Structure 1
Amino acid sequence: MALDVELAEIRDFLAAQEPFADLPQEALTRLVPRLTVEYHRRGTAIMTPGRDSVHLYVVRSGAVDMRDAIGTLVDRGEVGDCFGSTTLLGGNPSTFSVVAIEDTLTLAMGAATFAELCNDHREFGEFFDAQRTRRMAGAVAAKQASASGGAILKTRMSELARKAPITVSVRANVREAAQVMSDAGVSSLLVMDGERLAGIITDRDLRNRVLAAGRDGTTPLADVMSANPVTARADGLAFEAMLEMVARNIHHLPLMDGDQVIGVVTTTDLMRLEQANPVYIAGDIAKQKDSAGVAAAAARLPRVVESLVAQDASAADMGRIVTSVGDAVERRLIALAEERLGAPPVPYCWVTLGSRARMEQALAADQDNALIIDDAAQPADLDYFAQFAELVTGWLVEAGYPRCPGDVMATNPKWRITLREWKHVFGEWLNAPVPDAILRASIFFDMRPVAGDAQLYAELDDLVRSQAPSSKRFLSHLAGAAVANEPPVGFFRGFVLEKEGEHAHTLDIKRGGVGAVVDLARVHALALGLPARNTDERIAGAVAAKVMGAARGADLRDAFEFISYVRMSHQAAQVKAGTPPDNHISPDELSSFDKRHLREAFGIVRSAQSTLGTVYGTGKLG
């Protein structure tokens, strides 16, 4: 009888907590005997990163702290709170630690019981899905955090001090100092009084304060040096140092670690850092006089991506930066082609397709482009555009953008046609779709103008946006292709790897990862007639139109960001190792954190695909 009373107390306790409050009374009554009461002394680890966990825990009394794999506090659980669901839903091992911060009692529920409740009671499962959404968002934030916490031009000053400082005694004269500078090949000397920094002497000081002033080499250095110079802290930011040097019109900044001098940073050092800024690269590209100069400037892009991964940049930001540099390359080469061939005979619009059109380009991207030519073009005019396309695409190869293996380029006469012909092509895709043709044509529904008369593109876009929502067969075929592009994770949550060929035993993170989300978002955007090309914006548009739930949309956007970030990290590591970047990742190079959250991200994508397939099985989006 006492046991019955205790079980009733536990049942009543659960009935007052989320999400158990939503369970029917009979479900709670059946549940309670299947729970185990566990006692955890203060300081005891209940869950540990890297170790399997097979229970959902409910805090009956006491409190716990939940921390991620790097020790950051992510949540605090008090009476009535649950933990462990993210591991049960996403798979072991755990990526979180849970430690009792007070003597704590928990109610432990086995994995089979938890799965049964999620399956039988939708609200119960949705509660823990929301918890998983928060965890995926946290994973994205953790991947974006940098070791230094800085962004481009926020490099720590200590990273710029590559050489030991060259010094001279305060008791030396000008001739001795000049000889030291000449021997060391430096433009400045730190003047030391024992271990103390007394001043700095630069080549400009020697010109202005010695030669121009008529002094000779026996002049004491102390008379012409800059005494008590402005210094910078080793842990300071390069951006702050640049502002200081500009404000004071100085070109050399001694670098201090406490009272110790560890080097000198010059404006040249900071300019080298600035050259890694994509804005600088894009501006440099626009100044080039020939294709070789454009190619040389564009060659700095992989190192920029490497730097961005190591710093505070999201995959979305990196995609926009890589895209912007690519646009700058293409626009400059188009201008150079016009200079060589002369003005075009009729207006045209050079459009980019695929990831560049979506502002999501990564490294290892080939060319995807086309030409829309004004309807006034005569047959003779088309010869100009054939030569034009050959020049631009050939120069793009020189600049690091290989030809498209599928020949989706302006050099292909099929994709170098008048606006009238483009409207006819898109009309066939929309109104008389053939599944295989739609699969090959999907890249053309991610199109963006880069150079020329953007109005030509706008007319074509208006046609697509007005007709696509009512083209049910087209949308059904497109959705079918999107659903068929399955994420590379198996039924038992193992990664599906390439079985043979050059990339055997690797994971294609582009095709079934990034590409799967892109395909989903494209279907929704076309069905709604949205102007958006960017995947994140397309998902947001679907949520705003209420054809996708807010929670599902947030999940999908976080999953896309995480998968894209892992891809960029992989490519940055390849750049650092001196190997060509690609989209094929060996599971061995992934951390347990990445493996765990990639599986979860792929699960989110698969769930969204399932919903899309169901929607289009009924022939309508809703």
Structure 2
Amino acid sequence: MALDVELAEIRDFLAGYPPFDDLPPGALGPVVRRLSVEYFRRGTVIMAPGRDNTRLYVVRSGAVEIRDAVGALVDRGDAGTSFGATTLLRGNPSTLSVVALEDTLALVMDADTFAELCTSYPVFDEFFDAQRAERMAGALAAQQASVSGSAILKTRMRDLLRVPPVTVALDVSIREAAAEMSARGVSALLVMDGERLAGIVTDRDLRNRVLAAGRDPGEAVAEVMTRDPVTARADGLAFEALLEMVARNIHHLPLLAGEQVVGVVTTTDLMRLEQANPVYLAGDIAKQADSAGVAAAAARLPQVVESLVAQDASAADMGRIVTSVGDAVERRLIALAHERLGPAPVPYCWVTLGSRARLEQALAADQDNALIIDDSAGPDDLRYFEQFAELVTGHLVEAGYPRCAGGVMATNAQWRLRLRQWHAVFHEWLSAPVPDAILRASIFFDMRPVAGDVRLHGELSGRVREQAPTSARFLSHLAGAAVAGSPPIGFFRGFVVEKEGDHKDTLDIKRGGIGAVVDLARVHALALGVGATNTDDRLAAALAAGVMDAGRGADLRDAIEFISYVRLRHQAAAVRAGLPPDNHVRPDELSSFDKRHLREAFAIVRSAQSTLGAVYGTGKLG
């Protein structure tokens, strides 16, 4: 009788806390008979990172503190708090630490009972798996608990600012500018034309352009400043800025918040953060004297990615690093081509396309590039650019970037055009779209300048942004292409794998997962006339404009991050094994955690595709 009373008390206790309060009447009776009770003295470590756990705990009395693998506080809880489900759902070992803050009694459920409840009662499973967005966000947090902090991968540029920018007007004399620098203890001054940043003058400029050149210090500082200096976004990541500064051999970088100047960072500021390998790799690439040296330096990139995976950097951060290293390779090879062929006869802009244009490049990427040439180019000039393209793309192959199988390269005369010809090409795509042509051309709507005169790219992209939102049939065809490729998941949420060929029994994580989200985001960006190329930025713009449901947008952003992370981790594992990295993942090599959340991510993508197809009526297109 006493036992029955005690079991009834436990049943009533559980019925007062989620998710047990959502179970049907009578369900708890059999469960409580299978529970045990354990006592933990204050300070006892109940769970620890790296240690296996196969039980669910529910605090009966007392309190516990839960921290992640790097010691960050996750939760504190008292009666009714449950923990341990993470390892039951995703597999061991634990990534969390749980310590008794007080003398604590806990009800303990074994793994079999937990699994039976999850199977029998979806509401129970959903509580521990959380809502869809929380599930994906939790997956990312678990995967990305950094053991090193990796400051340069996480720090935003504005976090480095300690003092307001020191500015002077255009008509201030060199002498006055030098006195201001000395008085304020800075190594650089920003020269303003009203509210607009007109230039920058550094202590190096005063030495080289004034003292060494014998200039009159009474002249206006505008005569010796660097006009229209390179700038960075204040909310950008520190490592991106450092890579840019290394590539361009500059030591001061003004930061902008919109159009407003908010400060200046220096290479010293950035190097204090962390001596990150990707930065040194980009620096080494920029110093190479020939293409063979560039190729040798670029060959270190897979090891850099492997290191970043070990640090649990996010997929977005790793994509930007791989992209930045690729940019450094391309810029150095372009500079070497000019050394060999001489300077370009007319202005041009070398643009990158696809994943690198989106700042999302992974390993195993081929090259996608094009040339925008000034309209003044004559036949001889065009022959120069033909040789130039052949030289650069050939050296890119040497550096580990294979030629595009579809011929989307500047070596193809079809993608090496004068600006007015590019305008005509995009106008035709936008005004008279042909489905097959749009599918092949979609990569050109992910375009970013790498070298040369960026104004050529700006003029072209500006025209596209203006025309695209009014090109209804083009957008419908583009949406049709975006929903055509299904994620590799079946009706009953099993993975769909290749049935034959070299990649038998694998799923293409890029084509049906990452690529599908990229395509969806591109449609929204073009429909809105948004200039962003990065997929996350495009989804954020769609959310801000209200054209995408807030929950679905958040889900998609988490989904592509998780899928991309699994891909990069797969590629890093291939590097460790001495195999070429690819996008083909074997489901049987994934943990139960990865399988569960990949299925969820693919389901999110498929649902978003259905919504997009309904909005654009893709099933009605001929």
Q: Does TM, normalized by the shorter one, top 0.5?
A: yes
SS at match of 1:349: strand
What is the letter of the counterpart of residue 305 of structure 1? V
TM-superposed deviation, 1:149: 5.2
Q: Deviations over 1:340-395 (max 9, x none)?
A: 11222211110000000001111110000000111111223211111110000000
Q: Distance in 1 between matches of 2:471 and 2:290?
A: 46
Q: Distance in 2 between matches of 1:301 and 1:502?
A: 25
What is the letter of the counterpart of residue 330 of structure 1? E
Q: Distance in 1 between matches of 2:533 and 2:523?
A: 11
Q: Deviations over 1:193-241 (max 9, x none)?
A: xxxxxxxxxxxxxxxxxxxxxxxxxxxxxxxxxxxxxxxxxxxxxxxxx
SS at match of 2:37: coil
Q: Distance in 2 between matches of 1:66 and 1:612?
A: 43
CA 574–105 in structure 1, closer or farther in 2 if over 3 Å, else same: closer
Correspondences of 1:234-253 after superposition (within 5 Å): none
Correspondences of 1:293-372 after superposition (within 5 Å): 293-372=293-372
Q: Deviations over 1:528-555 (max 9, x none)?
A: 1111111111111111111122222222
TM-superposed deviation, 1:463: 1.3
Identity %: 70
What is the letter of the counterpart of residue 522 of structure 2? R
2:389 maps to 1:394: no
What corresponds to 1:241 in structure 2? none
What is the letter of the counterpart of residue 523 of structure 2? V
Q: Distance in 1 between matches of 2:326 and 2:364?
A: 12
CA 148–42 in structure 1, closer or farther in 2 if over 3 Å, else same: farther
TM-score, normalized by length of structure 1?
A: 0.65
CA 475–43 in structure 1, closer or farther in 2 if over 3 Å, else same: farther
TM-superposed deviation, 1:87: 12
What is the letter of the counterpart of residue 525 of structure 1? A
Q: Distance in 2 between matches of 1:316 and 1:71?
A: 21
CA contact (8 A) 1:276 1:303 kept: no
What corresponds to 1:593 in structure 2? 593
CA contact (8 A) 1:298 1:399 kept: yes
What corresponds to 1:281 in structure 2? 281
Q: Distance in 2 between matches of 1:535 and 1:150?
A: 24
Which of 37, 41, 51 is equivalent to 1:42? 37
TM-superposed deviation, 1:461: 0.5
SS at match of 1:449: strand
What corresponds to 2:511 in structure 1? 511
Instruction: Please report the RMSD computed on the Cα atoms of aligned residues, expressed in angstroms.
Output: 4.4
What corresponds to 1:408 in structure 2? 408
What is the letter of the counterpart of residue 612 of structure 2? L
Instruction: Structure 2: state its 5+ residue gaps.
Output: 1-10, 40-45, 155-270
Q: Distance in 2 between matches of 1:532 and 1:285?
A: 28
What corresponds to 1:222 in structure 2? none
SS at match of 1:335: helix
CA contact (8 A) 1:41 1:102 kept: no
CA contact (8 A) 2:375 2:418 kept: yes
Equivalences, count = 469
What corresponds to 1:212 in structure 2? none
SS at match of 1:313: coil
CA 301–368 in structure 1, closer or farther in 2 if over 3 Å, else same: same
Deviates more, 1:128-137 or 1:453-462: 128-137
What corresponds to 1:194 in structure 2? none
TM-superposed deviation, 1:146: 4.1
Q: Distance in 2 between matches of 1:315 and 1:486?
A: 22
SS at match of 1:498: coil
TM-superposed deviation, 1:406: 0.6
Q: Distance in 1 between matches of 2:70 and 2:389?
A: 54
TM-superposed deviation, 1:69: 11
What corresponds to 1:493 in structure 2? 493
Correspondences of 1:407-426 after superposition (within 5 Å): 407-426=407-426
Correspondences of 1:177-192 after superposition (within 5 Å): none
Q: Distance in 1 between matches of 2:118 and 2:281?
A: 53
CA 86–472 in structure 1, closer or farther in 2 if over 3 Å, else same: farther
What corresponds to 1:439 in structure 2? 439
Correspondences of 1:89-100 after superposition (within 5 Å): none
CA 312–295 in structure 1, closer or farther in 2 if over 3 Å, else same: same
CA contact (8 A) 1:275 1:281 kept: no
CA contact (8 A) 1:52 1:93 kept: no
What is the letter of the counterpart of residue 569 of structure 2? S
What corresponds to 1:175 in structure 2? none
TM-superposed deviation, 1:617: 2.4
TM-score, normalized by length of structure 2?
A: 0.65
SS at match of 1:492: coil
Q: Distance in 2 between matches of 1:95 and 1:382?
A: 61
Q: Deviations over 1:581-610 (max 9, x none)?
A: 111111232222222221122122222222
Q: Deviations over 1:131-179 (max 9, x none)?
A: 332232121122122455556899xxxxxxxxxxxxxxxxxxxxxxxxx
What corresponds to 2:139 in structure 1? 139
CA contact (8 A) 2:323 2:361 kept: yes
CA contact (8 A) 1:86 1:131 kept: no
Q: Distance in 2 between matches of 1:345 and 1:447?
A: 24
Correspondences of 1:521-532 after superposition (within 5 Å): 521-532=521-532
Q: Distance in 2 between matches of 1:114 and 1:78?
A: 25
SS at match of 2:465: helix
Q: Distance in 1 between matches of 2:87 and 2:129?
A: 12
TM-superposed deviation, 1:481: 1.4
Q: Distance in 2 between matches of 1:446 and 1:93?
A: 39
What is the letter of the counterpart of residue 344 of structure 2? P
Q: Distance in 2 between matches of 1:592 and 1:69?
A: 20
What corresponds to 1:602 in structure 2? 602
Q: Distance in 1 between matches of 2:312 and 2:444?
A: 33
SS at match of 2:517: helix
What corresponds to 2:383 in structure 1? 383
Instruction: Structure 1: state its 5+ residue gaps.
Output: 1-9, 22-27, 119-124, 155-270
